[in-house]
Structure 1
Amino acid sequence: MKKSLLAALAAATALGCLPAAAEDLITSDRVGPSDAPKKMVFRMTGDGPSSTDPTWAAGYSKLYTDFINNHPGWQLELQMMTGDISQEQARMLEQAKAGHAPDCAAVDSFVLPLFKQAGVLKSLSPYFTKEEIDQLFPFVRDGVTGKDGQVYAWWWSTDLRVLYRNTEIVPNEPATWDDTKAAGLQSVEAGMEGILFNGSRYEGTAFDWLGNFWGQGGKLVDDAGKPIFADAANRDKFIKAVNYYRDLVESGAAPKRVTTIGSYDDLNAAAVAGTTALFVGGNWQYRQLQNSMDPDEFAKWSFSMLPGITADQRSTGTGGWTVAAFSSEPEKVEMCAALAREIYMGPANALQEQLPTRADLYDKYDVFKSEANQTFAKALKVGQARPGVLIYPEISNQIQIMMGKVLTGAAATDAAVDDAYKAALDAYARL
């Protein structure tokens, strides 16, 4: 009997048909059998089996294992992006223009217009039904659709910015900028840092702050995509929003080190360590805090809509990630669409509590019926997506530069705003 078993194993090895369980289906850079005849390269963020959150890593490992088992003969080669998302996306765009992009990749929604304009994406329209596309929120559907009506990426998650607070230190929800300053000073009086937010050269710095401008009715660009954020109609609103952050730092309600913060992980770390009672962050951080804190400590934390110059003038930025195909091989494009459909469109939303971009999914998954997610959904009603125009990345870049000058006291607000506006207009003229 032993001889028969050895003979059977030898035959199976010779035929290359050992069961998949004979090797790890998931490694740090691969999903699927190492000798699979078909391979798709997927460049991804941490939203996968290598997530730094153990719960999410385990959940994604199961999703990816089920996915690859449902697609026999395939292997996914995983390429991980670094935390410098802006640089990663810029590099990938240049690779795509040169014909060296990965087959499939995560594309940040804020730079998706650049990829569409470059003509480097393949249509995913054949792989999603009209009903699924119609269920996308309007700003999402507009964002993924090209001028020819084709869908060029699947925007699977959206997010928003909120104000987190330790209710033991800050019991009442700050509804206005003045309330926020007072709450930041409360945190300092309690022996902690004041309010924290991203303030370095980082896309999050611009986007987390923009709600303060949008809440006043400010506009970044006109209908043609031209920057207008500091023209006659918008300049005063923009300057007020910048001075709000400046006053937080100069008053001590926010520490000067915000100019060095360029990661939401840094904000989580401060909250978990108990060194701050207040920070501006994303909705996804709620689950991260829950997973990182003792239940008694987490129970002290809550969140609310971003404050406004008045309680009635509030807004928040809505972003998110897409999955897009670059391959010229139809099989790989279809596989990329399957990845978006089977892992990210719904299952990954529920796993990470990443807000879905399809309205019908809020009824499908119980997790989005929770009090926290209902509060997020309410805040989304005043949310705004980054404008889908080519000049936006440069506007963001100039806001980041401007914020650094203002928060360090290197330049007066008016001068820094005017410099940013001129640079954005000059860049627009070169498009």
Structure 2
Amino acid sequence: MRLRLCTALLASAAAFVAVSAHADNLVTKDRVGPADAPKSFTLRLTNDGPTSTDPVWAEGYQKLFGDFIQRHPGWRIDLERMSDNIGQEQARMLEQAKSGNGPDCAAVDSFVLALFKGANVLKPLDEYFTKEEVADLFPFIREGITGPDGKIYAWWWNTDLRVLYRNKEIVPDAPKTWDELKAAAIASKEKGGEGVLFNGGRWEGTTFDWLANFWAQGGKLVDDKGKPIFAEGANREKFLKAVNYFKDLVDSGAAPKRVATIVNYDEFNAAAAAGTAALFIGGNWQYGQLKNTLEPEEFAKWTFSEIPGPTADQRSTGTGGWTFGAFSNDPEKVAMCAAVIKEIYAGPGNALQQQLPTAAALYGKYDVFKTEANETFAKALVNGQARPGVPIYPEISNQIQIMMGDVLSGTKTPEAALDAANTAVQAAYARL
């Protein structure tokens, strides 16, 4: 497996050179277009771009960007790459945008979009998208990008969900409840695995993946006015029940202690390739990554199912995704940002990465979304829930991450960790 990964990375590097050479060096690691182009704008990206760590994605985006810049002569795109610490990167970018030093165009995670809208740093994009295109978006997507004035301030181009991946040769039946998952994870250890893997380190993925267990019980983070209520009444009971569930997975050995340090979905792919993982909670996009990474006979062993709930009838999964927003005061740069969104990401990028589109029409446009796997993912969105688009959410998430680290490491009891998290969140809410 390691040899295959190394080979894939080398192939990606060779492909990058080949694509760049073919396009007269129009696509490099930090630039798209001629170095001496008269016009330029900065574009800040995550892993979804020409320098992606996924070889297939990297090659695909190199071509998409190369074709794009040839359709827009006279322009250069200066690429900036975010680190994997998304929460920190987004907070830094917001402060830069407030001071007028942000990128011209950038990826904005949906969970912090409300903060960017509230700070009035995003430029309206209405003139670049028709009313029909906006109406075709899923309702929660449309609501997320719209400001209080009715204008759209970003384009939410992909959505996703979390599922339970399993090696069906080791775990033949899909666990439907927490107890069944724990039993399957312990059984997998007897066959040389390390139990179930999930995000538990200090980053947004830890909060979002865990929240499915809270939401499955009907728990609410905030009320209708955006006030934090997760530590009150019935919500407190549901919250602690979900925290204790993860704690028990680690304490029982069903999950390795190292989950408390996992801050990247790529670790699950690597564990699957190394043969050490039989179960992990990950994103729908990882199905395509596993197919690209594993040998066909190994990939055939893997499948996925909905995240187990406290009972078989209690299910939830987080639906997230990324948006693009324009920060520039230059109308031409805003127009180029919109062009990047429409010509590279909303449609072509979805198909390349097999990341679920946010517009209904795109499901029928690309064959990749007609596959059995993607049709199953789309059906699972029925139990999907988006993070609340309120200003206090990022701090709630931050405190849940801290709480999870304290609980999984045994530093604090779940009750004490929850109280500390609630105190910090309420203080932050009072400052808003």
TM bracket, shorter-chain basis = over 0.9
1:152 paired to 2:159: no
Per the normalisation by structure 2, the TM-score is 0.94
Aligned equivalents of 1:393 and 1:235: distance in 2?
19
User: Cα distance, 1:21 vs. partner?
Assistant: 6.9
What is the letter of the counterpart of residue 300 of structure 1? K
Report the secondary structure of 1:234's partner residue.
helix
Aligned equivalents of 1:318 and 1:286: distance in 2?
16
Q: Give yes or no for contact 2:123–2:153 (8 Å, CA) kept in 1.
A: yes
Question: Which position in structure 2 is the counterpart of 1:174?
Answer: 175
Cα displacement string for residues 244-281 of structure 1 (whole angstroms, at most 9, x for unaligned residues): 10110111100111111111111111111011100010
What is the letter of the counterpart of residue 74 of structure 2? G
Question: Which position in structure 2 is the counterpart of 1:416?
Answer: 417
Question: Which position in structure 1 is the counterpart of 2:133?
Answer: 132
User: Cα distance, 1:88 vs. partner?
Assistant: 1.0
Question: Which position in structure 1 is the counterpart of 2:338?
Answer: 337
1:25 paired to 2:12: no
Aligned equivalents of 2:405 and 2:26: distance in 1?
46
Larger CA deviation: 344-353 vs 74-83: 74-83
Question: Which position in structure 2 is the counterpart of 1:215?
Answer: 216
Question: Which position in structure 2 is the counterpart of 1:88?
Answer: 89
Report the secondary structure of 1:381's partner residue.
helix
Cα displacement string for residues 22-44 of structure 1 (whole angstroms, at most 9, x for unaligned residues): 83111111111112111011111
Aligned equivalents of 1:58 and 1:428: distance in 2?
44
What is the letter of the counterpart of residue 155 of structure 2? W
Aligned equivalents of 2:406 and 2:56: distance in 1?
40
Q: Give yes or no for contact 2:49–2:61 (8 Å, CA) kept in 1.
A: yes
1:112 paired to 2:118: no
1:161 paired to 2:162: yes
Aligned equivalents of 2:384 and 2:295: distance in 1?
31
Aligned equivalents of 2:22 and 2:407: distance in 1?
57
Question: Which position in structure 1 is the counterpart of 2:373?
Answer: 372
1:249 paired to 2:239: no
Aligned equivalents of 1:53 and 1:129: distance in 2?
33
Aligned equivalents of 2:147 and 2:197: distance in 1?
38
Question: Which position in structure 1 is the counterpart of 2:307?
Answer: 306
Larger CA deviation: 168-177 vs 32-41: 32-41
What is the letter of the counterpart of residue 49 of structure 1? P
Aligned equivalents of 1:44 and 1:256: distance in 2?
32
Larger Rg over CA atoms: 1
Aligned equivalents of 2:383 and 2:291: distance in 1?
26
Report the secondary structure of 2:47's partner residue.
coil
What is the letter of the counterpart of residue 26 of structure 1? V
What is the letter of the counterpart of residue 314 of structure 1? R
Report the secondary structure of 1:42's partner residue.
strand
What is the letter of the counterpart of residue 328 of structure 2? S
Report the secondary structure of 1:345's partner residue.
helix
Aligned equivalents of 1:85 and 1:157: distance in 2?
17
What is the letter of the counterpart of residue 266 of structure 2? D
Aligned equivalents of 2:23 and 2:310: distance in 1?
61
Give the CA RMSD over aligned residues. 1.1
Q: State the identity as a percent.
A: 70
User: Cα distance, 1:233 vs. partner?
Assistant: 2.6
What is the letter of the counterpart of residue 257 of structure 1? R
Question: Which position in structure 2 is the counterpart of 1:16?
Answer: none
Report the secondary structure of 1:122's partner residue.
coil
Report the secondary structure of 1:121's partner residue.
coil
Structure 1 portions without partners, runs of 5+ = 1-19
Report the secondary structure of 2:111's partner residue.
coil
1:121 paired to 2:126: no
Quick one: structure 1 residues 22 and 363, their matched pair in 2 at CA, closer, same or farther if it must change by over 3 Å?
Answer: closer
Q: Give yes or no for contact 2:320–2:386 (8 Å, CA) kept in 1.
A: yes
Aligned equivalents of 2:363 and 2:251: distance in 1?
42
Aligned equivalents of 1:280 and 1:21: distance in 2?
40
What is the letter of the counterpart of residue 421 of structure 1? N
Larger CA deviation: 53-62 vs 329-338: 53-62
Question: Which position in structure 2 is the counterpart of 1:292?
Answer: 293
Question: Which position in structure 2 is the counterpart of 1:275?
Answer: 276
1:316 paired to 2:317: yes
What is the letter of the counterpart of residue 109 of structure 1? S
Report the secondary structure of 1:115's partner residue.
helix
Report the secondary structure of 2:196's partner residue.
coil
Aligned equivalents of 1:124 and 1:394: distance in 2?
28
Report the secondary structure of 1:303's partner residue.
strand
Name segments (4+ residues, structure 1) moved above 4 Å: none
Q: Give yes or no for contact 2:23–2:66 (8 Å, CA) kept in 1.
A: no
Structure 2 portions without partners, runs of 5+ = 1-20
Report the secondary structure of 1:47's partner residue.
coil
How many residues end up aligned between the 2 structures?
A: 412
Report the secondary structure of 1:376's partner residue.
helix
Quick one: structure 1 residues 312 and 24, their matched pair in 2 at CA, closer, same or farther if it must change by over 3 Å?
Answer: same
